[in-house]
Amino acid sequence: MSWSPILDHSIPTGDAVDAIETVIVPRARDLGGFEVRRALPSAKRQMVGPFIFFDQIGPVEFLTGQGIDIRPHPHIGLATVTYLLRGRLHHRDSLGSNQWIEPGAVNWMSAGHGITHSERTDGPVRDTGQELAGVQTWVALPKDAEDGGASFTHVGAAELPFLDAEGKKVRLVLGNAWGERAPLAMPSELFYADAELAPGAWLPLPEEHEDRGIYILSGSVTSGRDSYEAGRMLVFRPGDRVAVQAGPAGARLVVLGGATLEGPRFIWWNFVASSRERIEAAKEAWRAGDWMHGRFRLPPDDDREFIPAPDR
């Protein structure tokens, strides 16, 4: 598919614009055997559009017999987006979904009122070892979807819009941008894309969205007068016409944003909600451990263990 649109020469570039509102330096977190870099939520920003959580996973090399075991755990009030650059992960959830997550595909799990899932590198992947790299994000649900039913949808890479021209290769993973729309219906206006830029290539940011940010996975970009290296999230001022330029080694970016929600969200452990009362009710339900009749079930293919709720 040809690139649309071509960079409009009326968009300010170089020294003509400095549209960055916030620069976020992610925090390193050890999840037991592998490290993630967490950009959201941060002290500077809770959300970019509806995106309330952003972890860069790896890259990490697992030797034969090693892997990830994220045991079953619950979510409410959010949708998870697992997007891999390299490697494979095995997703199982309380709806009965059993899906291998692979590079370039989108995996959207909407928790609504409550869901439980696990992510592991098991079976033949653990037997042979692998390199794993990717991004895990959460989308906070609007108030009218917080108490809705849970769902899981997997869309292969070949089904997603792919733009390739002018030194840019962009896969639109979710939402609408650059004149294209990804196939999954979203609960609010948002966009999420994986962009690879050749050295010196320009990427205009979508103008139709209120909140916009980029996360630099590799390489570097220039915005305004400054250059930014990998491992930085840049959040741009609403309303400005902005483009970023890849550095001398090119760049790999996650580009995301959308409309802001009706208000801030409360976050506790794996729960996101518009009220403290919703968080407290979910805490009680998970701690009760009534997997047969309670609010939460365990994945039917992975129900021998689970992550207990934190004490705090």
Q: What is the chain's pLDDT, residue by residue, as a tens digit (312 residues)?
A: 333 334 444 444 444 346 899 999 999 887 766 789 999 999 999 999 999 999 999 898 988 988 889 999 999 999 999 999 999 999 999 999 999 999 999 999 999 999 999 999 998 889 888 999 999 999 999 999 999 999 999 999 999 999 999 999 999 999 999 999 999 999 999 999 999 999 999 999 999 999 999 999 999 999 988 999 999 999 999 988 999 999 999 999 999 999 999 999 999 999 999 999 999 999 999 999 999 999 999 999 999 999 999 986
Q: Is 117 annotated as a binding residue?
A: yes
Is 75 labeled as ligand-binding?
yes
Give me the pLDDT at residue 56, please: 97
**Is 237 within 8 Å of 21 (Cβ atoms)?**
yes
H helix runs in the chain, sequence order: 123-128, 276-288
Largest CA distance in the chain: 61
SS3 156: coil
In the chain, what is the straight-line distance between the N-terminal and C-terminal CA atoms, in Å?
50
pTM, two decimals, is 0.92
Q: What pLDDT shows up at residue 18?
A: 65
Tokens 């590079």 -> residue: 103
Burial class of 8 by CB neighbour count within 10 A (0 to 12, 13 to 18, 19+): exposed
73 appears as a binding residue in the annotation: yes
Rounded CA gap, 184 and 175, in Å? 7
**Residue among 62, 38, 33, 29 at smallest CA distance from 132:** 62
**Beta strand pairing call for 226-229 and 180-181:** unpaired
- Dig out the tokens for 146 from the structure: 């917080």
Spell out the CATH class of 20-258.
mainly beta
Q: Determine the pLDDT at residue 30.
A: 77
Residue 311's φ and ψ, nearest 5 degrees, are -75, -30
Two structure tokens written together for 300: 């039917």
Backbone angles phi, psi at 285, to 5 degrees: -65, -40
Neighbours of 272 (CB within 10 A): 27
Q: Where are the alpha helices (DSSP H) in 117-229?
A: 123-128
Look at residues 311, 312, 303, 309 and name the one whose alpha carbon lies nearest to residue 117. 303
pLDDT of the residue at 2: 32
- Determine the pLDDT at residue 54: 98
